Amino acid sequence: MGRIHRYEGEKIIVEFEFGRCIHTGDCTRDLPEVFNVKRAGRWVHPDAAPVEDVVRICAACPTGALRCLDKISGKTMHHVPVENSIQCIADGPLYVHAEMTVNGKTQPMHRVALCRCGASALMPFCDNSHKVIDFRDAGQVGCPLPGEASAAAVLAVSSTPDGPLMIEGPFTLLDAAGKAVGKSSKAALCRCGASKMKPYCDGSHNQIDFKAD
Ligand code: FES
């Protein structure tokens, strides 16, 4: 999704994929000694905090733009989540936390932000267009999923042309407050922004003549 910037520390390398970042500010707020865009020169300083703190903040980056590699082995320092989850963010995207593929491509991190307003130019990923179009949805889930317990397995996310996001694989659905509202292994989630049953697709993409790959 774009150039990857590498910031080497003594023991770790922090990678930053600019194209995935939607500037939530989580990293700069939670670990400003390491992530600081106001500082002159490079904005990531991996040695300015304990390694475990840098790894924890990178693992929590909601879009998967940040990741940590062990400097000696070159391997990722992040673990596959014990449970897959998809969270509706108020007036914003879907946050997916899982080992996953998106349109058949294995994702380098266990987190991505997916568009649900219909306006992203980076479909199916969020590019912050929800702010430009003033997308409004509280991220509540009126109709819980009746499902079975989820276990760790690779989640397959795919975008149907001019239609919803198809989810296959076990996941827990979370509302904007982070409350689990159900589990499932298959769902069609709205990405056009017009559904009256968000986060689920209700076919409204046909009425608004939604166009997206
Ligand atoms: S994708 Fe939005 S209603 Fe189907």
Domain ranges of the chain: 4-70, 85-207
Ligand 1 atom nearest 163 alpha carbon: 1
What's CA 134's distance to the chain center, in Å?
20
What are the residue ranges in the chain where pLDDT is below 70?
Answer: 146-152
Asked if residue 159 has its Cβ within 6 Å of ligand 1, the reply is no
Contacts of 102 (CB under 8 A, 6+ apart): 112, 114, 124, 125, 157, 158
Ligand 1 atom nearest 192 alpha carbon: 2
Name the closest-CA residue to atom 4, ligand 1: 201
The pLDDT, as a whole number, for residue 143 is 76
For the chain, give the number of residues.
213
The pLDDT, as a whole number, for residue 153 is 87
Asked if residue 187 has its Cβ within 6 Å of ligand 1, the reply is no
> Which one of 135, 189, 205 would you pick to mutate in the ligand 1 pocket, going by the greatest count of ligand atoms within 8 A of its CB?
205
**Residue type at 90?**
A
**Residue range 4-70, CATH number:** 3.30.70.20
Could you tell me the CA-to-CA distances from 13 to 49, 64, 66, 72 in Å, in that order? 13, 15, 10, 10
Asked if residue 205 has its Cβ within 6 Å of ligand 1, the reply is yes
Asked if residue 116 has its Cβ within 6 Å of ligand 1, the reply is no
Ligand 1 atom nearest 197 alpha carbon: 3
The pLDDT, as a whole number, for residue 152 is 66
Give the angle subtended at the CA of 120 by the CAs of 186 and 126, to the nearest 5°: 60
pTM for this prediction: 0.94
Centre of ligand 1 to C-alpha 156, Å, is 18
- Segment 107-163, tens digit of pLDDT: 999 999 999 999 999 999 999 999 999 999 999 988 777 666 556 689 999 999 999
The pLDDT, as a whole number, for residue 150 is 57
Distance CA 19, CA 165 (A): 20
